[in-house]
Structure 1
Amino acid sequence: MSQVLFSLVLLLPLAGCVRLTMDPSPQELMGFQADVLAAYDEAARLYDWFDLAPMPLDESDSVREGENTYFRVLDENITSTENLRSRLEEAFTPDLAEEIFNKVPDQYRDFDGKLYAIPGGRGANLYLLDKTVQTERISEDRWEVTLTFWADFEDSHMAPEPGTDFSTSYPIATAGYSTEAIYYERTPEGWRFTSFCPSDALDLEAETVYTFDYAQGFREDCSNWELVCYLLHADGAFAEGAFYRLYQRFLDRPNDILSSLALLDTAPYEASRLNSLIAGPGYEAAYEDETGRLAFEEAVKRCVPASEAEEAVLKKIQGAYASLRREEQAWTDLQNLRFSFTVPNTAVFTLGPQEGAFPWGLALDAEPVLVSPAMDSFGPCYEVELDTMTLTYTVSPDSGEEVLYRMTANDPGVSTDRDVSVGDFLARVQEQYPDIVPLDGYAESGLAYVWEPGGDAYCKHIAFFTQDDIVTGIEIENLMDRRLLE
């Protein structure tokens, strides 16, 4: 049985000595809560000896009576049934203590001045992951102790694949939580528990506990908490649609999703399983286009955390979004450098969106020439002739953003990011770009060698035009809608 979260090292000399004043300060109240939590830990330990498993036993010291074999209890502080009953009465009201003591008749017996017990136990709830304990003072003489039992169980089954003679193994998982409230009250005998429950009292029938058959997928109309629980055990194809549904719900009702994720964030599930799920909306948003990212940022602005737990979750979502965006930008910058020209004492030119309007904040003395007017959804295209290279860019008809999509160099002073320039031997090009491909008909004369990494995922290429195995020109281009090498 795993240890109770929030349990404290504090041990009370006697169970049930909670001090209370009419109006305790916040510091005093925290001290009282610690006392109640410690009293619960002790009471649960006693209760489990009668409900879950007996006290630790010395199996080398046994006594046979009738059909039962008893083994000596190892606890040197509890040496008789009278002593054990007294410990119960220090934690529970007399009636409750008597009920607990008699849960299993003849469980404990005295032999020759020593305490013995029948070994064995009923076994813990296999569906229970752990429990968390919270306390609240509801009157001067009464505390409510809320136990949250967390479910976590996974199995699998074989399901036939439609239209085939094969079956595939699919997971079945249970997740969620149920709660029980017990009470700790001031009595004539002192502070005692007036009600109690087993340490593994998970209610599998609770509305907040779910069992999923992943062969059936998730329901589109499931509750937010049900969706979160589904994702706890989902991976691969089982998770893709569900994660995106969680992201969409965050855009629509961010505070509701924040509440469900905050509840999960305080649960005792494995951190590796929780981290990606809790930050999921942020990860999903980072992969969206500009419109999607703006929608996410607006949803974040509408978030109003109702607790410290929700505030912590919101920070995790924002952190995941910012981190992935930084990684994406760093990757984009790296890719841009792969398709760039360096002009000494001038600039590094990269394909893609440029800052502002031409000459983009650079000291370029040239005039753009219109080479293609705007048509349909495409903006006009312009060409700029510099001393060392030619730049071709288009202007977005919606935002006015200028996008550089082709650069051609014919000057030895211009180099690629791998320091290849006009005038270099083909052997050097092949050394720096070992996977270049010769392309007939692309050069007006001589032969062109094309470097186009990324396959269908990218349309950028570098073409090295050669004559007699000498580089005579270099073109860096993004075809945007197709590859050069088909």
Structure 2
Amino acid sequence: MNKETVLHSFLICVLLSSVLLLVGCTQQAADSGNVSPETDLPAQESSEPQSEDVLTAYNEAARLYDWFDLAPMPLDESDSVREGENTYFRVLDENITSTKELHSRLERVFTSELAKEIFNKVPDQYRDFDGKLYAIPGGRGTNIYLLDKTVQAERISEERWEVTLTFWAGYEDARMVPEPETGVSASYPTAVAGYSTTCIYYERTSEGWRFTSFCPTDNLDLDAETVCSSDYYEGFGADCSDWDLVCYLVHADGAFAEGAFYRLYQRFLERPNDILSCLALLDSSPYAAAYPHIDSLIADPGYQAAYEDEEGRLAFEETVKLCVPANEGEEAVLKKIQAAYTSVLQQEQAQMDLRFSFTVPNTAVFTLGPQEGTFPWGLALDAEPTLISPAMDGFGPSYEVELGTVTLVYTVLPDSGGEVLYKMTTNSPRISTNDGVSVGDSLARVQEQYPDSVPLDGYAESGLAHVWEPGGNAYCKHIALFIFIFQQFSLL
């Protein structure tokens, strides 16, 4: 008995192509710890101080003040004198050899009244023995919550300078939290960040320019509204201030940071200038030098926007257009945010471009888009391009190259002379896309690698095609996979 059997096989002819779119498209801070004991004071008795002079005077005054408030002068512990219950050690500074010289040094930067007050902060701290200066060792230790301080000087009248000290908090710890129904505890981080400010004054007196007020050099106020204490077990409050949110992120890591970063991004979309102000303050703070991730924190709204969908990206771009930085600091932050956004998009574009490529064994990987140099683009190709379309109406000429297993079509841009590969076709099973699909693969295989491809019958001359065109960053690039069904009859 004869039977007629129909055998089906699939042949995939792969076409990669793209539509060419021709588009016309703060004040200086000073650290008191940087002044050596031998630093000479600026001669300001008769001259008018400039900002840098005031900052230098502050550094020297802070160094002297610390000898009475924080820790004594450097001591030689091999040379001691016992008096009553106190043991004194000789001061190493050879330029100050008596209490009189020490007091005189104070009076060179402080008013007489303030110098006397500072000298008497710790009674009997310094004593003279046998023509040498001695001191009691030890000190209170610096504020453990203090990260650093910044100093700014502003002249507010002919007779007065205001020196603003900003004390920055930077402290990390942890606490144990019992885990419900387990009988064990887990460690959760805690942190302190933010700042407090204190103003002191440098004024013209009958003796010259002197500080009329002063404060400890680690005078961080933990109760200030601008200092934030974060407990990462509890997380951040939905109604926390913008600055508290930024401070929370200074020490946040991993899962503790994810929701907070997105909240910062949402607030940037709602109130970009407020967030710019906070981030600019962070950008000019000591955190930028102390913690390597601060640059990423500052630019994070740009990173967040880049991973949004098309509607979200458009909203971000519109926000940036309408944002008007109030100063150079905010302008610098906005540029960092924009740079982060552009960087991620470019990386995504590079990854997407790779999906529109053909791998030709022992030859090259050809990818749609701009090419380096002129054909054959630095490759050893034994082929001559054929003109298929002359230059016309603002478009450059197009050329076709037959490589045996793959056909390339490229155009030359009329303005720059750059070359753009915009179409590649093959019917060879030796060629594969970046996703590993080759001629001869089944329709199931195509749909596995390109699940969002759609069937189109627009290629009537070739039969049904499944077209994958992701859009967005792909800029109209697409892959067309042609499905042919051959029928074979046999008599049995």
User: Over the residues paired in the alignment, what is the CA RMSD in angstroms?
Assistant: 3.5
Q: Which of 268, 292, 296 pairs up with 1:272?
A: 292
| Offset, 1:163 | 4.7
| Identical-residue share of aligned pairs (%) | 66
Q: Describe how 1:425-440 pairs up with structure 2 within 5 A.
A: none
Q: In structure 2, how many angstroms separate the alpha carbons of the residues matched to 1:312 and 1:449? A: 49
Residue identity matched to 1:312: A
Q: Which of 211, 227, 246 pairs up with 1:193?
A: 211
Match of 1:158? 176
Q: Describe how 1:55-204 pairs up with structure 2 within 5 A.
A: 55-204=73-222
Q: 1:125·1:200 contact (CA, 8 Å) conserved in 2?
A: yes
Distance 1:8 1:139, change over 3 A: farther
Distance 1:240 1:17, change over 3 A: farther
Match of 2:31? 4
Match of 2:350? 330
Structure 1 stretches lacking a partner, 5+ long: 21-30, 351-361, 365-387, 390-406, 424-438, 462-474, 481-486
Q: 2:174·2:187 contact (CA, 8 Å) conserved in 1?
A: yes
Distance 1:251 1:335, change over 3 A: same
Aligned partner of residue 432 in structure 2, secondary structure: coil
Aligned partner of residue 50 in structure 2, secondary structure: helix
Q: In structure 2, how many angstroms separate the alpha carbons of the residues matched to 1:256 and 1:289? A: 25
Residue identity matched to 1:78: I
Match of 2:243? 225
Q: 2:228·2:244 contact (CA, 8 Å) conserved in 1?
A: yes
Q: 2:42·2:56 contact (CA, 8 Å) conserved in 1?
A: no
Distance 1:45 1:238, change over 3 A: same
Distance 1:348 1:58, change over 3 A: closer
Q: In structure 1, how many angstroms separate the alpha carbons of the residues matched to 2:168 and 2:309? A: 38
Q: Describe how 1:222-261 pairs up with structure 2 within 5 A.
A: 222-261=240-279
| Offset, 1:198 | 0.4
Residue identity matched to 2:432: T
Q: 1:145·1:183 contact (CA, 8 Å) conserved in 2?
A: yes
Q: In structure 2, how many angstroms separate the alpha carbons of the residues matched to 1:451 and 1:73? A: 83
Determine if the alignment matches structure 1 residue 19 to structure 2 residue 55. no
| Offset, 1:415 | 2.8
Aligned partner of residue 133 in structure 2, secondary structure: strand
Q: In structure 1, how many angstroms separate the alpha carbons of the residues matched to 2:157 and 2:145? A: 35
| Offset, 1:332 | 1.3
Q: 2:437·2:445 contact (CA, 8 Å) conserved in 1?
A: no
Aligned partner of residue 279 in structure 1, secondary structure: helix
**TM-score using structure 1 length:** 0.70
**Corresponding residue pairs, total:** 375
Match of 1:412? 428
Aligned partner of residue 292 in structure 2, secondary structure: helix
Distance 1:178 1:244, change over 3 A: same
| Offset, 1:335 | 2.9
Q: In structure 2, how many angstroms separate the alpha carbons of the residues matched to 1:258 and 1:295? A: 17
Residue identity matched to 1:177: Y
Residue identity matched to 1:412: S
| Offset, 1:328 | 1.2
| Offset, 1:273 | 2.7
Match of 1:426? none
Distance 1:180 1:303, change over 3 A: same
| Offset, 1:12 | 4.5
| Offset, 1:327 | 0.9
Q: Describe how 1:281-360 pairs up with structure 2 within 5 A.
A: 281-337=301-357
Q: In structure 2, how many angstroms separate the alpha carbons of the residues matched to 1:212 and 1:15? A: 46
Q: 1:415·1:421 contact (CA, 8 Å) conserved in 2?
A: yes
Residue identity matched to 2:306: A
Distance 1:452 1:61, change over 3 A: farther
Distance 1:250 1:348, change over 3 A: closer
Deviation digits for residues 284-319 of structure 1 (CA, Å, limit 9, x no counterpart): 011111111111111111221111111111111111
Aligned partner of residue 91 in structure 1, secondary structure: coil
Distance 1:6 1:134, change over 3 A: farther
Q: 2:76·2:89 contact (CA, 8 Å) conserved in 1?
A: yes
**TM-score using structure 2 length:** 0.69
Q: In structure 1, how many angstroms separate the alpha carbons of the residues matched to 2:32 and 2:41? A: 22
Distance 1:259 1:208, change over 3 A: same
RCO comparison, higher one (Cα < 8 Å, 6+): 2
| Offset, 1:171 | 0.3
Distance 1:5 1:253, change over 3 A: farther
Q: In structure 1, how many angstroms separate the alpha carbons of the residues matched to 2:301 and 2:350? A: 21
| Offset, 1:14 | 5.0
Which stretch shows the higher mean deviation, 86-95 or 411-420? 411-420
| Offset, 1:168 | 1.7
Aligned partner of residue 135 in structure 1, secondary structure: strand
Distance 1:226 1:72, change over 3 A: same
Q: Describe how 1:466-481 pairs up with structure 2 within 5 A.
A: none
Residue identity matched to 1:132: T
| Offset, 1:237 | 1.0
Q: 2:177·2:186 contact (CA, 8 Å) conserved in 1?
A: yes
Q: In structure 1, how many angstroms separate the alpha carbons of the residues matched to 2:326 and 2:298? A: 17
Aligned partner of residue 123 in structure 1, secondary structure: coil
Q: In structure 2, how many angstroms separate the alpha carbons of the residues matched to 1:198 and 1:305? A: 35
Structure 2 stretches lacking a partner, 5+ long: 1-29, 370-386, 390-404, 407-423, 454-464, 471-492
Residue identity matched to 2:103: R
Distance 1:476 1:263, change over 3 A: same
Q: In structure 1, how many angstroms separate the alpha carbons of the residues matched to 2:447 and 2:282? A: 49
Determine if the alignment matches structure 1 residue 32 to structure 2 residue 60. no
Q: 1:174·1:209 contact (CA, 8 Å) conserved in 2?
A: yes
Distance 1:290 1:50, change over 3 A: same
Q: Describe how 1:457-472 pairs up with structure 2 within 5 A.
A: 459=451
Aligned partner of residue 168 in structure 1, secondary structure: strand
Deviation digits for residues 1-42 of structure 1 (CA, Å, limit 9, x no counterpart): xx818978995545754733xxxxxxxxxx700000000000
Residue identity matched to 2:431: S
Q: 1:172·1:211 contact (CA, 8 Å) conserved in 2?
A: yes
